[in-house]
């Protein structure tokens, strides 16, 4: 697996490279947005770790470019010194699969990389098709069709949709989804909120992701005596 580490701080690149190489990963380093864009254009990377604040184009711009380009499924983890929740949400809305806030533990970043790679490069599985009203998801091919049209999803969006379709009409809190879909027992719950909003937008009228106020999210109306809503509320 080839991992791109893009950061204008050579110390950060060196430390991250050492930790990733300990895990048997090959690391490519870049120091600014122009170098990074050139590497990404060659499509030889299995996962990119991008610094949000490096000289332009910055990590956010590069993430948007990847998601709008010919290879939108490339996993991306953002490195950011911006600690405010709104700043982290911007990165997720741009299409990042994950983010790590500086200063960070290099080992934590390596674990995040491993987690994303496990989900984006899984072991071959038998074909399984999950359906929910107008949505059809093929696990092995990792494709989604909504109302007869193909839908491009990031790896995390696909995994979230697959989990919800496999457990229809059951309510899951954001903490439960973070554990089941992301494999984390830690992390910002707004990560789930942003991915749900993005998934709803991409599926359009075919989505059936309900918000059960005070409880969480469910695919399809859950019979819990609560009135769910399709609005992008921040569920607990």
**Total-model pTM:** 0.63
Q: How far is CA 236 from CA 93, 95, 197, in A?
A: 20, 23, 15
pLDDT band at 229 (very low <50, low <70, confident <90, very high): very low
Q: Which of 24-28, 99-103, 139-143 has the highest mean pLDDT?
A: 24-28
pLDDT in the model for residue 126: 57
pLDDT digits (tens, 9 = 90+) for 51-107: 999 998 999 999 999 999 988 999 999 998 766 667 778 888 899 998 898 888 898
pLDDT in the model for residue 193: 94
> Does residue 231 surpass a pLDDT of 60?
no
pLDDT in the model for residue 71: 87
pLDDT digits (tens, 9 = 90+) for 142-169: 899 999 999 999 989 999 999 999 999 8
pLDDT in the model for residue 235: 54
Q: Considering only 85-89, 122-126, 226-230, which range has the smallest mean pLDDT?
A: 226-230
pLDDT in the model for residue 124: 58
Mean pLDDT confidence for 21-30: 94
């Amino acid at each position: 697996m080839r991992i791109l580490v893009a950061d204008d701080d050579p110390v950060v690149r060196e430390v991250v490279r050492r930790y990733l190489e300990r895990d048997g990963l090959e690391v490519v380093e870049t120091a600014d947005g122009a170098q990074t864009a050139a590497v990404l254009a060659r499509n030889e990377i299995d996962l990119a770790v991008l610094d949000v604040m490096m000289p332009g184009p910055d990590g956010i711009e590069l993430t948007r470019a990847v998601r709008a380009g010919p290879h939108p499924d490339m996993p991306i983890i953002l490195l950011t010194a911006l600690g405010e929740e709104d700043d982290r949400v911007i990165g997720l809305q741009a299409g990042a699969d994950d983010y790590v806030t500086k200063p960070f533990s290099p080992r934590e970043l390596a674990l995040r990389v491993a987690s994303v790679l496990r989900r984006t490069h899984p072991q071959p599985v038998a074909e399984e098709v999950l359906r929910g009203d107008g949505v059809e998801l093929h696990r092995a091919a990792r494709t989604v069709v909504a109302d007869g049209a193909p839908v491009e999803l990031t790896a995390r969006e696909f995994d979230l949709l697959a989990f919800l379709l496999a457990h229809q009409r059951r309510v899951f809190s954001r903490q439960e989804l973070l554990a089941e879909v992301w494999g984390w027992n830690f992390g910002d719950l707004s990560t789930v909120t942003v991915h749900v909003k993005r998934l709803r937008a991409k599926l359009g009228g075919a989505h059936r992701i309900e918000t059960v106020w005070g409880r969480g999210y469910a695919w399809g109306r859950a019979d819990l005596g609560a009135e769910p809503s399709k609005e992008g509320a921040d569920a607990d």
